[in-house]
Structure 1
């Protein structure tokens, strides 16, 4: 990870990531500490309590802070820890979307999309409320932070934000019915996971019927933990 050092209280304290400017890292021979900032909220992660306490003490000398204890909820993400590992999901966020769309009692779909789906930009009638379509796509894009299983179809439907069609909106509703069947599904990071890095990639050649563009996809694991994924035209 690329990073640069900066001075805090007259000494080199931590490094700022160049790939994510809100992430700061301190790495020594005996400890690893990460600090993630979002506006006025901060998450501190460390291998030991001593490093965590040092960060909080240092911050309290410069800012008025409030310690909310162990991380359980952050930006719509729910975090649960046990001796087996860490579970991250967006159950409440998912249920809020379903409630807003009136689909809490809808029949669940076993799949987020039809197999071998082909969508056209001029397919079907123009959807009368494009703002609603864009808002729903935006919410589902955020949900892909913990639901890689819908990344491909959400990426595909995001291609029609300018002039969405009725069939495109119907496919969005199918994703919601799929989420209805597993609103609590998310990511699990087991404590027994190794540090072996494994990556998988695939490509769908010229699968966009309007442009003949291809789609590439990848996912990266550290041991058994899925840490990165993407679907891109």
Structure 2
């Protein structure tokens, strides 16, 4: 019997992803990049007049900066180490479409949305103007008829990723995602309402303007006792950088707020933490 000693970590092993990121980090830091402490997938090269950022997702890399020569040197170095394929200007990344206009960059998930509508069989559904009925308070619905949990999860799961470019559905999806364990008919109807809204706004996305002041603006709000069965409030915030949304979230608070003011202060604390 012969035994082979494995010298390299390959696909399928638990250590593969860790070793890959360790090697990629070591190579980029060798040529002057620094790994971001906030996002370990982001690497920044910065001097007096040069700024280049590299964002990595497994083996997909985005390079952006103000110095073409430095970007070319980084590509050449990575190609020598990994034999990479240069796909040119960014047009599509992880389901997000990137379009250049005279005003700036537009990020959208139009194809992803249309594929979701096709998979759910709602291409011909009646469109809706809002993702959720106003003042709708969804509860556990224990008296409602049960629905197929796997089908419900197949709808809510893609909606969670669709929030990457759709802040307008974040609140609705956050509410719907808390019923994936035991979905009922009223939950499925609310999910269908979101999909009907997406049919109306399939190409909607985010504009990153190329002009304007780089000022950071934050908005926050709370829905006091918004959850009818846990009595917990829900916090939400939106951060704008130069007029473009860069961070947003809707989340149920961890404790029960005993007053409207307490719920608002908790929402402000979460927003300030995100700003910092």
Relative to the length of structure 1, the TM-score reads: 0.93
Q: CA deviation at 1:22?
A: 1.5
Give the whole-Å Cα distance in 2 for the aligned partners of 1:26 and 1:109. 46
Q: Which residue of 2 aligns with 1:115?
A: 134
5 Å-filtered alignment, 1:162-201, equals 162-201=181-220
What secondary structure, in the 3-state scheme, does the structure 1 residue paired with 2:198 have?
A: helix
Residue 95 of structure 1 aligns with which residue?
Answer: 114
Larger strand share, 1 or 2: 1
More helix by share: 2
Structure 2 residue 43 is matched with structure 1 residue 28: no
In the alignment, structure 2 segments of 5+ residues that lack a partner are: 1-24, 253-276
2:212 matches 1:212: no
Structure 1 stretch displaced more, 175-184 or 129-138: 129-138
* Maintained 8 Å contact 2:209/2:242: no
Q: Equivalent residue for 1:148? A: 167
**If the length of structure 2 is used for normalisation, what is the TM-score?**
0.79
Please say if 1:43 is aligned against 2:62.
yes
| Deviation, structure 1 residue 32 | 1.4
For residue 20 of structure 1, report the CA deviation from its aligned partner.
Answer: 2.0
**Distance verdict in 2 for CA 1:123–1:66, change over 3 Å:** same
Select between 88-97 and 10-19 the one with higher mean Cα deviation.
10-19
How many residue pairs get aligned? The number is 228
| Structure of greater relative contact order (alpha carbons < 8 Å, 6+ residues apart) | 1
Give the CA RMSD over aligned residues.
Answer: 1.5
Would you identify which runs of 4 or more consecutive aligned residues in structure 1 move more than 3 Å?
A: 6-12
User: 1:9 deviation in Å?
Assistant: 7.6
Per-residue CA shift, 1:178-211, capped at 9, x if unaligned? Answer: 0000100000011113111110000111111101
Q: Hey, what's the Cα distance between the residues in 2 that align with 1:181 and 1:167?
A: 22
Instruction: Judge conservation of contact 2:29–2:35 (CA < 8 Å) in 1.
Output: no
How far is 1:23 from its partner?
Answer: 1.5
- Residue 7 of structure 1 deviates from its aligned partner by 4.9
Bigger Rg over Cα: 2
